[in-house]
Structure 1
């Protein structure tokens, strides 16, 4: 079987590399000291823990964030549909039943394996033509507070998920496009029961009730509210119908993605963005002109057995993920390859020594991410090739910065020119992007009976996006939410010295993302091994790393790997650990090494499928959300 990439990056390739030529601090010591060791701003709140049973399959399987979406995907597979068909049907259902995370008004990254090659389909939102670098700056030159920037027309980017999915379907679909719309259309008409998670997130939300369309759909009228006269979310089990979305889905089934990008649906989207109290510049021309991009997947060898394929920029996911894993695997780090687990059952956890190394590696990876990564159509790769950030010699150089104690925020490195690059470039004096919240997303994974596979990560950014809801010009209740993806750009376009931030707003640009759809292959045979990914803002990188380490490096069953405690470091002041999952001795050991430990809920949502091989396929769905794996 052919390999997924003809030119993978291999750990251990021998090239002579020069010393780094540019190092820019993430922040001044005073700024770093001022940064509070606050909890991570997570995309969605916690809604409990639901234990998930192990799942095996022999033909096909689908793993999504909601049972109804998994059912829709499995139905397409049973009708002879491809992995992509199942993913499209499931995504359209998620737009209805998991509106806090993704939908028609957002974007997505899709990795697709057809048995011969891995494709990276970029359906990320773009900045409108009217969006300039100072989009979020106030009159005094300071950026808007994030909450105000997010809940506004300013934040709405040009959605891309539908045009991307339709383009991929043209190559890899087996069932008619209209057929894929039917499960979501039926549920929108007949209604679905409000789940405990959706109810909990509606209860926590402070934005939706400000939008009349959203308030009328998600909340009971005052007289019908469960608690009397105040507006409350519909209760768990309430059958929620969405006639406006049903009407839009009928148009989508008949007209394809153009149903959203032109005509009455587009007109309503533009009207709501431009008529907001903080209006944005989205135009009909922006919507009509959106085009997805087919990019070259990044494939990186990991250890002696695996080849990991992920998404290139504008996603930072694969680069940061493989930097993190590569730094942990550096032979200079004693015991880095050993299984670091202690405890058993629900108490299974990595030991403190390994967690310290992990935090040090994460600091380095996130420092490079903050400085270098942005839309590749606007920002050149350091050294002329994004793979320069993953070269073993560069990682070995970076790994020498990992010490026995935590040394505070790491500085970005500058890898030298990639050998043979036609555009080696020069050292780029970008300003590091200041820390700001990043949100969003849902993930689904599919393997079909022909061995094709999908890893699809999809988003409207914050929980419930911008909080603006379009009825598609139907005048009916419900509809779909609009993204706030432009707040994934740096709100501050340059630093005090006037150096531009690589990930600043520019017309037509795609904001940097952490989405990490991932496919794993056997290096020797090229056989598909796994498809996985997660929601979680910048923590996506950590959640995906944990799933890979647990299932492939440490040999745990998929569900056991996902059940491991989460740990997140984004090169800030604190090492964030999942609340209640690490023993007191380990916390004390980390503190003794200089870490500021903060515990909080870390609501990952990993969906992981291991492909059938010598034995049956196996799957896991994150117990922190309500997703399930279904298969035959």
Structure 2
């Protein structure tokens, strides 16, 4: 792999469906000398939101454009904006505002996002960083309790202490000025109308509320009465829910721009909610909001299997780096020959994940505060050397971080949990412009603090709770004033390496497992020749910084043969029904200028674009013909 820095709870399927899918899938530099001490074994991955079922979905085609996102109402808002001549960026804003209303547990204006934008006319890919920042008054011991020990996760989350300065709106406004076509105010109209008229609570939203009902009730108003019945139970799916306060907030932002959020009455209310929390006050100030700035960064990109240039989000996200590391490690193996859903493919890909996560835990943080050896981490020679640690007959077990080119100082082992409650949207417009955006408020329902109709993030708990590790070494992802916490979000755009044409747009929510979900889909499309929906459907599995390999419970790989085979190679095997990815992807499905078919679509359907949506969540893909 040639790389550069520039760059469910799943309900078991019917036997017939499983057999059909099996049949379909069967058809279809520097050395690692001086390794760094391995991270402490982490707990088994636990997602920020509960699973809500598995609904098989068919691949979708459209001629002019395509939106794939987490809720049909949000997708329709984006499709309508595109039909009016809006750009991909315009559609993304409309989709996000509706998601804030209909999927409030996952993302919204009280949080942040990472966005990749490809401008077809300028042939330019930019990475927009709208990640939250730590308040100016934050200190490295922000999450150290009175007894001198780190707080428990939920003790840190619930309340004002965990709230970082939201970045989403400031980032979207800047991107709109550069890439928007329709007026800013018009992009809020779908969300305003739905907020005022009401919408039916979706099954997933109701399940999410139920999973957090006790915590929501404990935090009180206004969230309690908005999400819960009088008896403290979750409002049921199908309940008509209106949010006039959010409509008023959207109207103010539509008329006054992002300044209406970052300055004035809304900002004062946000700060009051955070700092006046009765038991867990935070340190956010009006100055933090007024001074927030987004960043425009250079994407991290690499070439995989010669034909494809894969681009992702750079630090402070670990997502793009770790996805490229995974592919770079697998570049040294014939993954296509192993076939999907086999013991060998699960073993090999999990081993690549282990090595990528070991480096992620040690080196990746906000590059404005620490030196991140990003180019070294994705260096082809470094990854080729690291790949020699992978054996097909035995697991690595608990992985050891390598020493990539560019390492300048000893690093401590990070102990952050990184459980972002998140959503992803992929959009291509009729002019070939692209948005891949992953957006988050961190844990399910964020900090549970509701202001003017929207929830505030708990993003600061993505930092390490301690500034040094057990050996006294400084942790890269520790809390500092103005710093952005490390993320796993991995919005991705794939190009034809020869022509420069966009081949695929994809990404997922899912906390630290986002890296695995995104990489899985790319491997499915590139190595195994699957279309975008088939690749998204692939069973989820993976490993991080320990010897445990997790398998999606009830899936095609959750078999005695694979479990026993992994154990024979030294894996600790965990079956989990909580691998609730939310992959949303779009691929090019037509003929290129050179007469070549879009290489990733691999399907006979009619349409310029093909879209896929994760059956583990309730999103769809849709476009205009």
- Whether 1:629 aligns to 2:621 is yes
Residue in 1 that maps onto 2:536: 562
- Whether 1:534 aligns to 2:514 is no
- Whether 1:457 aligns to 2:462 is no
- Whether 1:593 aligns to 2:602 is no
Residue in 1 that maps onto 2:609: 617
Write the distance in 1 (CA, Å) between the matches of 2:415 and 2:44: 17
- Whether 1:24 aligns to 2:42 is no
Please tell me whether the aligned partners of residues 20 and 415 of structure 1 are also in contact (alpha carbons under 8 angstroms): no
Which of residues 169, 184, 193 in structure 1 aligns to 2:176?
A: 169
TM alignment of 1:64-463, pairs within 5 A: 64-115=69-120, 116-205=123-212, 206-211=214-219, 212-221=221-230, 230-276=231-277, 277-330=279-332, 333=333, 335-341=334-340, 350-382=341-373, 386-403=374-391, 404-417=393-406, 427-434=408-415, 436-463=417-444
Please tell me whether the aligned partners of residues 399 and 546 of structure 2 are also in contact (alpha carbons under 8 angstroms): no
Q: CA deviation digits over 1:590-627, x for unaligned, max 9? A: 11111111111210000010024316311100000000
Write the distance in 2 (CA, Å) between the matches of 1:494 and 1:438: 21
Residue in 1 that maps onto 2:599: none
Tell me the CA shift for residue 24 of structure 1: 2.3
Please tell me whether the aligned partners of residues 152 and 280 of structure 1 are also in contact (alpha carbons under 8 angstroms): yes
SS at match of 2:522: helix
Please tell me whether the aligned partners of residues 57 and 612 of structure 1 are also in contact (alpha carbons under 8 angstroms): no
Tell me the CA shift for residue 130 of structure 1: 0.5
Instruction: Return structure 1 stretches of 4+ with deviation > 4 angstroms.
Output: 5-9
Please tell me whether the aligned partners of residues 32 and 402 of structure 2 are also in contact (alpha carbons under 8 angstroms): no
Point out where structure 1 has 5 or more consecutive residues left out of the alignment: 10-14, 222-229, 342-349, 418-425, 472-478
Write the distance in 1 (CA, Å) between the matches of 2:388 and 2:85: 52
Tell me the CA shift for residue 251 of structure 1: 0.1
Residue in 2 that maps onto 1:344: none
Tell me the CA shift for residue 323 of structure 1: 0.7
Q: CA deviation digits over 1:266-302, x for unaligned, max 9? A: 1111011001111110000000000100101111111
Residue in 2 that maps onto 1:347: none
TM-score by length of 2: 0.90
Please tell me whether the aligned partners of residues 185 and 249 of structure 1 are also in contact (alpha carbons under 8 angstroms): yes
Write the distance in 1 (CA, Å) between the matches of 2:344 and 2:292: 48
Q: RMSD across aligned C-alpha pairs, in angstroms?
A: 1.6
Write the distance in 1 (CA, Å) between the matches of 2:215 and 2:438: 24
Write the distance in 2 (CA, Å) between the matches of 1:461 and 1:18: 36
Residue in 2 that maps onto 1:476: none
Please tell me whether the aligned partners of residues 19 and 416 of structure 1 are also in contact (alpha carbons under 8 angstroms): no
Tell me the CA shift for residue 258 of structure 1: 1.0
Say if 1:435 and 1:290 are closer, same or farther in 2 by CA, change over 3 A: closer
Q: CA deviation digits over 1:219-258, x for unaligned, max 9? A: 122xxxxxxxx32121211110001101101101100111
Please tell me whether the aligned partners of residues 336 and 528 of structure 2 are also in contact (alpha carbons under 8 angstroms): no
Write the distance in 2 (CA, Å) between the matches of 1:106 and 1:19: 38
Write the distance in 1 (CA, Å) between the matches of 2:291 and 2:131: 14
Write the distance in 2 (CA, Å) between the matches of 1:109 and 1:7: 17
SS at match of 1:374: coil
- Whether 1:574 aligns to 2:582 is no
Tell me the CA shift for residue 141 of structure 1: 2.2
Deviates more, 1:428-437 or 1:129-138: 428-437
Write the distance in 1 (CA, Å) between the matches of 2:241 and 2:165: 28
Write the distance in 2 (CA, Å) between the matches of 1:613 and 1:530: 12
Please tell me whether the aligned partners of residues 298 and 309 of structure 1 are also in contact (alpha carbons under 8 angstroms): yes
Residue in 2 that maps onto 1:485: 459
- Whether 1:607 aligns to 2:584 is yes
Write the distance in 1 (CA, Å) between the matches of 2:328 and 2:164: 34
Say if 1:461 and 1:130 are closer, same or farther in 2 by CA, change over 3 A: same
SS at match of 1:539: helix
Residue in 1 that maps onto 2:46: 41
SS at match of 2:309: strand
Q: How many residues get paired?
A: 577
Residue in 2 that maps onto 1:502: 476
Say if 1:255 and 1:512 are closer, same or farther in 2 by CA, change over 3 A: same
Please tell me whether the aligned partners of residues 447 and 611 of structure 1 are also in contact (alpha carbons under 8 angstroms): no
Please tell me whether the aligned partners of residues 39 and 599 of structure 1 are also in contact (alpha carbons under 8 angstroms): no
Please tell me whether the aligned partners of residues 21 and 416 of structure 1 are also in contact (alpha carbons under 8 angstroms): no
Tell me the CA shift for residue 449 of structure 1: 0.3
Please tell me whether the aligned partners of residues 260 and 266 of structure 1 are also in contact (alpha carbons under 8 angstroms): yes
Please tell me whether the aligned partners of residues 4 and 378 of structure 2 are also in contact (alpha carbons under 8 angstroms): no
Tell me the CA shift for residue 325 of structure 1: 1.2
Tell me the CA shift for residue 55 of structure 1: 0.5
Residue in 1 that maps onto 2:17: none
Write the distance in 1 (CA, Å) between the matches of 2:144 and 2:590: 54
Tell me the CA shift for residue 507 of structure 1: 0.2
Tell me the CA shift for residue 6 of structure 1: 10
Tell me the CA shift for residue 381 of structure 1: 2.2
Tell me the CA shift for residue 498 of structure 1: 1.9
Tell me the CA shift for residue 22 of structure 1: 4.9
SS at match of 1:304: coil
Please tell me whether the aligned partners of residues 109 and 456 of structure 1 are also in contact (alpha carbons under 8 angstroms): yes
Please tell me whether the aligned partners of residues 428 and 435 of structure 2 are also in contact (alpha carbons under 8 angstroms): yes
Write the distance in 2 (CA, Å) between the matches of 1:90 and 1:428: 42
Deviates more, 1:117-126 or 1:557-566: 557-566
Tell me the CA shift for residue 435 of structure 1: 5.6
Write the distance in 2 (CA, Å) between the matches of 1:336 and 1:66: 33
